[in-house]
Structure 1
Amino acid sequence: MSDLKDRMMELETRQAFQDDTIQALNDVLVEQQRMLERLHLQMAALIKRQEEIGGQFEAVESEAPPPHY
C-alpha cells in the first residue's frame, strides 16, 4: 500500500511541475505575441513614413535639370 501512495505522490508532484511549466510557457508566449503586435505596428508606421519621405524625393527628382546642363 505504501508503494501505491509513493507512486501517487510522485505523479502528483510531476503534474504540479508540469502545470507550472505550462503556465510559464504560456506567459512567455503571451508576451511574445504582444511584442510581435507592437513590432507590427512600428513596422507599419515606418513603412508609411518611408513612403511619405519617398514621395518628397520623387517630387524633387522629377524637376527639370537646370539650364546649364
Structure 2
Amino acid sequence: MESLEARVVELEVKAAFQEDLLETLNEIVTRQEQQIDLLQKQLKALYQQMQSQGQSGASDGNPRHEIPPHY
C-alpha cells in the first residue's frame, strides 16, 4: 500500500511542477507578444517616416547624395 501512496505523491509533485512551468512559460510568451507588438509599431513608424521623407524630396534614398554631419 505504501508503494501506491508514494506513486500518488510523486504524481502530485510532478503535476505541481508542471503547473508552475506552464505559468512561467505563459508569462514569457505574454511578455514576448508585448515586445513583438512594440517592435511592429516602431517598424511601422519608421516605415512611415521613410515614406514621408521620400515624398518630401528630402532625400532620394541614395547615401552618396547625403552630406555627412562632419562637413
Shorter-chain TM-score category? 0.7 to 0.9
Q: Could you state the TM-score of these two structures normalised by the residue count of structure 2?
A: 0.77
CA distance in 1 between counterparts of 2:58 and 2:28 reads 44
CA distance in 2 between counterparts of 1:20 and 1:43 reads 35
CA distance in 2 between counterparts of 1:59 and 1:2 reads 80
Deviates more, 1:49-58 or 1:3-12: 49-58
Gaps of 5+ in 2: 61-71
Gaps of 5+ in 1: 61-69
What CA RMSD, in Å, does the superposition of the two structures yield over aligned residues? Answer: 1.8
Structure 1 or 2: more helix by fraction: 1
The one of the two structures with greater contact order (alpha-carbon pairs below 8 A, sep at least 6) is: 2
Q: How many residues align?
A: 60
Q: For 1:1-69, what aligned pairs fall within 5 Å after superposition?
A: 1-57=1-57
- What stretches of structure 1 move > 2 A for 4+ residues in a row? 56-60
